Structure 1
């Protein structure tokens, strides 16, 4: 499991701390809207509002920022630009063209002063990216565990945070895998994925060993970071890279091929969407193809070779 509370010495190998940063009702007095900030003379730069304030007492200039407030509906697996708010507070999905644009950033519904966010994060403020997951879920949804890394900013309670000592891209790859999702579905007893539930989910150690992969931790993190980048939306191999990560997770969790097939068949919505779009359960096919290639590499003592140009996952 991610955290074993019965072992105070070695029970938290990831160095995880869970956190809820802002509550949408209790902390609403800290939130500012687009209209309020524009009326007060703030300037939008990307998705951050900025302003230079002149102090009355000494006339010194002070630069201030308002950071975006991320909500669960704005993120998805390997995607911190899943949805964006319009100035009129309506939310919409981000288009493929926007995902491919490295300058595009999602807009939130609210903004929070940077110093308030800095205070809430405390000694974790120095991290450029943070990891969180959607706390509302159902085992009957397309996916249950939906988490992503996103730039350090304000975060609402619908998006609990997993603060780690390191290897957040690796942890993101693990919690986004079908095998981790399958485990979560067996544990959940409601629609709220609480800290208590999440800490009990089975996960490998951050120093995971996979001899058939070259530098296994780095192998996972390169692909996790690639999937988070706009470049991954401009190449046809994005689904193949995800299938490769899932296949590696199935191997690390110790599942045989028939067990992999069984797990994948427990995600009927993924299957139905694939069959409607491609005429086959493409996600499962890609995972099994990578799983078989890794199994062959393991049995022959070779290193697994990806089926696409190396620069895609570099």
Structure 2
């Protein structure tokens, strides 16, 4: 269990939850790109910058999917009567560019984000919207430090390395099966997530006997998660050398599919015994 409440709280990962920016009562902090451009700011990647100001992208649940913080841009539909902000999914060719960023519809002043969550190398989060008809119930990933809407709940740890290991567990097929039996409705609320089954941190210091007799589990897991989440997060966040990775970081490739499969297989108990 991720967090077990009792006489003393048992929280081995040291996880705290955060809904950073509520889209209703904090919308006054949201700025459209054209408005920032009229103020003289320039788009760099997916951030607006000037000599004195920086505005960070507002990540929403619709922009991410499992192990992927670049799943979709957000665009404003000219024809939709409701839910005008819609996802636009990039082509495979766009996804193969490791420098491509997901583009939001809104940006938030960096100073406002710092006042809520000081800069860190990466943030782990889970999409709140779900459904038993979806291919996966739990969509979690690491994203760059940025502004985040409340439809993507953050799971904050004290160490980026722990966030990577926890993402491997949250992204596994066996974890998703357990989560699907637990939830009801279409919202993945925090009280569900706290009850989901996860391995304790100490487990990752054991050897991966199914794949290697000597390599500790965390050393086997981290490079695979790093390759799936992509170039933008792999340096600094994970503290690994550039040569530890292939040049292509796109989960739609055969190698990406293999990384998914190996991580899924790892969490089935027979392979860890």
TM superposition score normalised by structure 2: 0.83
1:23 is matched with: 22
Equivalent position to 1:239, from 251, 257, 265:
257
Larger relative contact order (Cα-Cα within 8 Å, sequence gap ≥ 6): 2
Q: State how far apart, in whole Å, the 2-side matches of 1:100 and 1:229 are.
A: 10
Aligned-residue offset at 1:159: 0.3
SS at match of 2:53: strand
Q: Are the counterparts in 2 of residues 34 and 87 from structure 1 also a CA contact under 8 Å?
A: no
SS at match of 2:193: helix
Bigger fraction of residues in helix: 1
Structure 1: 5+ residue runs without aligned partners?
Answer: 53-62, 255-293, 299-314
Aligned-residue offset at 1:243: 0.6
Q: Where does structure 1 differ by over 2 angstroms across 4 or more consecutive aligned residues? A: 85-91
Give per-residue Cα distances to partners, 1:35-54, cap 9 Å, x unaligned: 111111111111100122xx
1:172 is matched with: 167
2:48 is matched with: 49
For 1:46-195, list aligned pairs within 5 A: 46-52=45-51, 63-86=52-75, 91-121=87-117, 125-166=118-159, 167-195=162-190
Structure 2: 5+ residue runs without aligned partners?
Answer: 78-84, 232-247
Query: Larger deviation: 132-141 or 24-33?
Result: 132-141
TM superposition score normalised by structure 1: 0.73
User: Structure 1 pair 81/211, CA: closer, same or farther in 2 (3 Å)?
Assistant: closer
Query: Larger deviation: 213-222 or 102-111?
Result: 213-222
For 1:140-289, list aligned pairs within 5 A: 140-166=133-159, 167-208=162-203, 209-212=206-209, 213=212, 214-229=215-230, 231-233=248-250, 235-251=253-269
Name the Cα RMSD after superposition: 1.8
Aligned-residue offset at 1:29: 0.4
Q: State how far apart, in whole Å, the 1-side matches of 2:7 and 2:130 are.
A: 29
Q: State how far apart, in whole Å, the 1-side matches of 2:8 and 2:107 are.
A: 38
Give per-residue Cα distances to partners, 1:216-236, cap 9 Å, x unaligned: 012111110111115232852
Q: State how far apart, in whole Å, the 2-side matches of 1:80 and 1:8 are.
A: 35
Instruction: Determine which structure has more spread, i.e. the larger CA radius of gyration.
Output: 1
